[in-house]
Amino acid sequence: MRIASIGECMIELRQMPGGHLTRSFGGDTLNTAVYLARLGAKVDYVTALGDDPLSDEMIAGWQAEGISTARVMRIKGRLPGLYMIETNEAGERRFYHWRDASAVRSLLSLPETDALLSALADYDLIYLSAITLSLFDVAGRDRLIAALQHARGAGVRVAFDTNFRARGWPDLDLARVAFQDAFVVSDIVLASVEDLLPLYPGEAEEKLLLRIDADEVVLKLDTPASIIRHDGQSRRVEAEPVSGAVVDTTAAGDSFAAAYLHARLSGAQPVAAAKAGHYLAGTVVCHPGAIIPCEAMPDMIAFDTLMRGPSA
């Protein structure tokens, strides 16, 4: 099974004691791509980077993780975006971004764009997020949505993650339109109450679910649990308690998405896939940064047991 993950990776700066900063890289769809690759999936990352040493470093890092970079466009004279993470004592994070002129902003207006979008029909699954959509103008988003619809016609499944960052959507009406367009062309929607309430204030969980057209929906709740809707049936899935101290919630949703999608592509039923998602996310939040060390990945025997869990 081949997966295309579309989005942006940025330089990540993380504040450390004493005012020091550590540098790595991250971005929601890239984080998901890394965890998918670590779980054994074949993943292409679809993005644009510059021709600078930091972009070269990113490419090398992705390849070391087993991610294919064949769909990465390189733009002369451009740079990747940058963000800084600040976390409080509870592990909750705050982001500061410098990305308005990042290379990926031009991904859907390059001479190679038509060929890139046509190639999406060659995958088994396409994964993207609301942050992906926020990178482009209306024309670019329409072009991407049309390509997703074409790919679905060729039998490709589309998974959309509702990652919502208000700074990327100065016009909330545009955001609502973009979300609805994505819901219509998606087979799987990975949503959360936290993401949807800024767009649909005060709505109950049931009404939020009704807004999503896809047959398969995961709605992560404010509590450690999720609601899974599939084939017209809804089930609540509780997350097991986190075994360690929560130090950084960065990429909790991204890792959940990776484990859920990997489990579903491996034949697991949605409830079992959600348990796998909670399991991986519960490991990730006990480590700093978006991408945890390989040696910190959870025990795969336990992970496989979850995927074979009850389907009812």
Contact yes or no for 256/39 (Cβ under 8 A): no
Residues labelled as active-site residues: 254
**CB neighbours of 300 closer than 8 A, spacing ≥ 6?**
none
**Residue 260 near residue 218, CB atoms below 8 Å:** yes
DSSP annotation string for 120-181: GGGSSEEEEEHHHHHTS-HHHHHHHHHHHHHHHHTT-EEEEE----GGG-S-HHHHHHHHHH
Q: How far is CA 200 from CA 10, 58, 194, in A?
A: 29, 36, 11
Q: Which of 216, 278, 221, 218 lies closest to 252, judged by CA?
A: 278
Q: How far apart are CA 276 and CA 262, in angstroms?
A: 9
Closest CA to 161 of 281, 29, 25, 27: 29
Q: In whole angstroms, what is the distance from residue 20 CA to residue 16 CA?
A: 5
Under 8 Å between Cβ of 31 and 161: no
Strand partners, 191: 219
Contact 128, 8 (CB under 8 A): no
Q: Which residues contact 199 (CB under 8 A, 6 or more apart)?
A: 164, 172, 175, 176, 179
Q: Is 97 left (phi over 0), alpha (psi -120 to 50) or beta?
A: beta
